Chain A
Amino acid sequence: MKSSVITFPGSNCDRDMDVALKKFGFNNKMVWHNDHELPNSDLVVLPGGFSYGDYLRCGSMASKSKIMQSVINFAKSGGLVMGICNGFQILVETGLVPGVLLRNKYLEFICKNVFVKLDNKNNKYFKNLNKDVLELHIAHNEGNYFCTKDQLKEIEDNNQIAVYYCNNLGQIEEKFNPNGSIKNIAGIFNKEKNVLGMMPHPERMIDQNLSGEDGSLFFKNLINNIK
């Protein structure tokens, strides 16, 4: 299975993502933002970091990068595109997934482990995953998901909410919401469910000795679903 990770100026989770994808069997290529063409890929990942120094709005400059037109075309033709953290911010700026990510409600950079509840397994990312609650890591300043009332209705009607912030038992309550996101939303899909944007980092949870294994479960399952 082939994957591509896009590196923007200021990306800093691109190498971690490369390590994670390779560990679970992807033949991964790093792609520079200034390239025009994507290599042949089964999965494209927009990694975390601070692309373009978060200038203007997080992800706004990166969403206009040369490579992004190919990524958008790839997504529109049904290709799997996953944006993690800053990658999620880039995805919302391209319009591939609805909404925006605002500054965290309490104005602090949050760096900690959280639990997320999977809402929809009818997609390539979570299908056959034998867990409903994953422990993943977040590290962000702008992860406060917001959308208009009309957009929220559409997102809910189309089952586009991918993951919610919750506790270890999977209870979705405001007190488990780290950043003020509407409805505890931690990640969403596009309508067709081939594009996934989420704030938590699965690539930081691939080693029991360092953190946890829930990211490993996610990647193992993902490659099996793509095969």
Chain B
Amino acid sequence: MKVSAIITLKKDVLDPQGKVIHQTLDGMGFKDVNEVRQGKYFEIDVKENDPKKAKEIVENMCSKLLANLVIENYKIIETQ
């Protein structure tokens, strides 16, 4: 079963890459942007077929490796 996780920077953490992307978008004429924050997206195919259990496995991966909880939050966004 495929489980997707999204990792985002916490609110107070400076995101210089997001800032530069924002500036570039602005330079390209996209003037309607308040802020850009860059994150990470993972698509993990686990051997477990029970959606609840599969989600738990990926949550465990997020907290132990995929995200650093000092600066990042994670969210399981879909299972299929």
Contacts and interface: CB of A to CB of B under 8 A. Distances in A.
A180 B68 contact: no
Contacts of B66: 56
Contacts of A148: 12, 70
A105 interface: yes
Contacts of A151: 70
15 contacts: A57-B68, A64-B65, A100-B68, A102-B71, A103-B16, A104-B16, A107-B16, A107-B17, A144-B14, A146-B13, A146-B70, A146-B71, A147-B70, A148-B12, A180-B14
Contacts of B16: 103-107, 180
Q: How large is the interface on A (under 10, 10 to 19, 20 to 34, 35 or more residues)?
A: 20 to 34
B20 interface: yes
Given A60-B65, A64-B65, A102 B70 contact: no
Interface string A151-193: 1000000000000000000000000000010000000000000
Contacts of A103: 16-17
Given A57-B68, A93-B68, A151-B70, 19 more contacts: A56-B65, A60-B65, A60-B68, A99-B70, A100-B68, A100-B70, A102-B13, A102-B14, A104-B16, A105-B14, A105-B16, A107-B17, A107-B20, A146-B13, A146-B14, A146-B70, A146-B71, A148-B12, A180-B16
Q: How large is the interface on B (under 10, 10 to 19, 20 to 34, 35 or more residues)?
A: 10 to 19
Interface of A: 56-57, 60, 64, 93, 98-100, 102-107, 144, 146-148, 151, 180
Nearest to A180: B14
Contacts of B14: 102, 105, 144, 146, 180
Contacts of B20: 107
A151 B65 CA distance: 21
Nearest to B40: A56
Interface in B1-51: 12-14, 16-17, 20
A99 B70 CA distance: 7
Contacts of A57: 68
